[in-house]
Amino acid sequence: VTAHCTPDGQFSIAVSRDVTLPPIVLDSVQLASGHSTGCVPIVKNNAFVVYQFPLSACGTTFQVTGDQVIYENELVASRDVKTASLGSVTRDSTFRLHVRCSYSISGSSIPLSVQVFTLPPLPAVSQPGHLSLELRVASDGSYTSYYTDSDYPVVKTLRDPVYAEVKILQRTDPDLILVLHHCWATPTINPQQELQWPVLVDGCPYAGDNYQTQLVPMSFASGLLFPSHYQRFTLYTFTFVDSTSHEKLSGLVYLHCSASVCHRSVHESCTTTCSTRPRHKRSAEHHFQEGASHVSSKGPVIFLQDELRQ
């Protein structure tokens, strides 16, 4: 947006289509109060629109403050709202531009200042709700085939990679981004069991593991329609042992994750940055946090010693 107050007493305002995200519909831009002759754009093309009109026209208001006279006007953009039987929607950006010009009352025709005010960006809408997630284990690192219910328990040798994937179900908004908070393993199906092992902490590999989990980057190259609806990681198989005797416990291991959805916008990238510095251990109570959804693997993975595998 550019605005000028000319020495001969006119507003000159130019608005680019890219002033909002998504781009504004320039045909919908108009002066808030002035619709008479002379209150239409003097230039309009696919990139921008330009208004120029006298300070005394097109609904301009003025007030005298001290030794200044202040002129004000507004440009707005109407929104195309579609209505159906169960609700109304719009895909157009909200736009309101307030322009203020100040002149000295002493007689000088040179404008003292020009001020442009736009609406602040709308806050992100965040509310609790049901989020359907699925945690799957792929048969290999290509993530093209997955173990089904009948395949569990999946048998792996210690230190074998396990290719895990969490995805959002029944959503088609491309701006939704799945954010993993914590992932952990337990020897039973109970995700709140006291005995557990952290896999991801605050969305990052647990640094206390000598075989650290690997995050798998997601992009459109993966061939997925909505890659931001997925999170993938590779962990390396282990077995639980008694903390005192160090005797091996049951070979069954269940995976669990807590996650939420972030809506990508100009002011929110929804990205998780993982530091290369070691992260301290976090207690299990952090896994079940308010506002997050939780998902578990469809069944256990059995981790065997090399010499026991048939």
Lowest mean pLDDT among 44-48, 81-85, 140-144, 246-250: 81-85
Task: Compute φ and ψ for 18, nearest 5 degrees.
Answer: -90, 15
Mind listing the pLDDT tens digit for each residue in 31-67?
Answer: 887 677 778 889 999 999 999 888 888 888 888 887 7
What count of other Cβ atoms lies within 10 Å of the Cβ of residue 164?
24
The per-residue pLDDT for range 267-286, each reduced to its tens digit, is: 456 778 887 655 444 443 44
Instruction: Sketch out the chain's domains with CATH numbers.
Output: 2-118 (2.60.40.3210), 133-308 (2.60.40.4100)
Q: Secondary structure of 267-309 in the HEC alphabet?
A: CECCCCCCCCCCCCCCCHHHCCCCCCEEEEECCCEEEECHHHC
Range list of H helices, the chain: none
Q: What's the pLDDT at 116?
A: 57
Q: Provide the percentage of residues in the chain whose pLDDT is more than 90.
A: 19
pLDDT of residue 146: 94
